[in-house]
Structure 1
Amino acid sequence: MQVLQDAGRIALAKALAAMPAHIAWGRGDGAWNAPPATPSNRTALLDEICRRQVVDVGYAVPATAADYDVEMPGPVYYKRSVDPTPYLLLTTTFGFEDAQGETVRECSVFFGTVAAGGVPAGQRLLLPADVATPGAMYALEYRGPVTRSGTTKATEEIVIPL
C-alpha cells in the first residue's frame, strides 16, 4: 500500500495555496435542531448566503495548548509556519454587514471560484448571483445556528490538513 509522503502533501498545499480560495456561509436546513453528521460527498452548500475571498493563505504546524497561534474546535492547536507544511491555513474576515440578520449553519472552503461577468475586479464578498463558477468544495463544516448581527466582524481561520 502506498503512503502519501509529507513532500507530496506539501506539494498539494502549495498547489491549493496558488488557487483562488473563498470561505462560504450557508443557511443549511432551518429544520435542523442540531447539526447533522457532516457528509463527504457534498459539492455545494444547502442554501448559500455568501462567500468571502480568503485574504491570507499560509501554513501551520500542530502545536500545544501552551504555545499556539490558531485554535480549532476540539480543541486542536496550530502555530503559523513561514515554511510550507502539509497544513494549509486560510484566513478571511467577514465584515459587519456581511450576512447581517442571517442564520449561519454551514461553513465551507471553495477553491477555484470564478466571479460572474460584471462583478467589479477585486470584489471580495460574493453573493450567489455574483458567482459564475463556484469552484470545488474542499471542506464543509456544519455549525450550531449562529445569527449574524451588524455589530461584529467574523474572522474565519481554517486549517486544512492535507
Structure 2
Amino acid sequence: MATLQDSGRIALAKAIAAQPLYMAYGRGLPAWDATPEPEPTTATTLVDEIGRRLVTAVQYVVPHAGGEIELPDGSRYTASAQPSKWLHARWTFDYADAAGETVREIGVFIGGAMQAGLPAGQRYFDAAQVAQPGDFYTMERVVAFVRSASTRQVQEFVLPF
C-alpha cells in the first residue's frame, strides 16, 4: 500500500496556502440546539450559510509542547519559517460581519468565487455574494451563539495535511 510522504503533505500545504481560504458562518438548524447532530464527511456546503470571511493570516506551524498556538484538545504549535504539513489560519471578523445572526456551524472553504462587481478589497461576503463556494475542507457544528456587533470575533484553525 502506498503511503503519503511528508514531502507530499508539505506540497499540499503549500498549494492550499497559495489559494484564498474562507471561514464561513452558518445558521444550521434550530433543532440542533436541543439535539446536536454530528458533522457529516460528505457535505459540500453549510446547511444555511450566513456569510464568509477571507483569511486574515496564514502561516506554517509545527507541533511544539510550549507553542503559543493552542487547540481545544490541548495540542500546541509554533510558527515555522520553513513550509510544513500544518497550516495555521486565522480569520478576524469585523464588528458588523454577521452581526445579530445565530451561528451553529463553521466551515473552512478553499478557493471559490464571489459575484462579479463587488468592491475591491472586500473581505466579508454574505451568502448571496458567493458565486461558487469552493472546496469544503472542514466543518464544525458549534453551540449556538449570536454574533455581536460589539465583538471582533477571531477564529483560528490548524489545518493538517
TM-score range, shorter chain: over 0.9
2:62 maps to what in 1? 61
Equivalent pairs: percent with the same residue? 46
1:45 maps to what in 2? 46
Q: Which shows bigger deviation, 1-10 or 113-122? A: 113-122
How many residues of Structure 1 are paired with residues of Structure 2 in the alignment? 160
1:17 maps to what in 2? 17
What letter is aligned with 2:124? L
Q: Which shows bigger deviation, 71-80 or 90-99? A: 71-80
Q: Contact 1:110/1:134 (CA < 8 Å) preserved in 2?
A: yes
RMSD: 1.1
Q: Deviations over 1:29-58 (max 9, x none)?
A: 111125321111000000101100002111
Consecutive unaligned residues of structure 2, counting only runs of 5 or more, are none
What letter is aligned with 2:118? V
CA distance in 2, matches of 1:80, 1:132: 34
2:152 maps to what in 1? 153
1:36 maps to what in 2? 37
Cα offset, 1:76, TM superposition: 2.2
TM-score normalised per structure 1: 0.94
CA distance in 1, matches of 2:40, 2:132: 22
Q: Deviations over 1:77-113 (max 9, x none)?
A: 2111121100011111011111111111111111112
1:59 match: secondary structure: strand
CA distance in 1, matches of 2:35, 2:69: 26
1:76 maps to what in 2? 75
Cα offset, 1:136, TM superposition: 0.7
Consecutive unaligned residues of structure 1, counting only runs of 5 or more, are none
Q: Contact 1:35/1:105 (CA < 8 Å) preserved in 2?
A: no
Cα offset, 1:63, TM superposition: 2.2
CA distance in 2, matches of 1:83, 1:51: 29
CA distance in 2, matches of 1:5, 1:133: 32
2:7 maps to what in 1? 7
> Runs of at least 4 residues of structure 1 off by over 4 A?
none
What letter is aligned with 1:45? L
2:112 maps to what in 1? 113
Q: Contact 1:27/1:104 (CA < 8 Å) preserved in 2?
A: yes
| Distance 1:35-1:69 versus aligned 2 partners, 3 A rule | farther
Cα offset, 1:143, TM superposition: 0.7
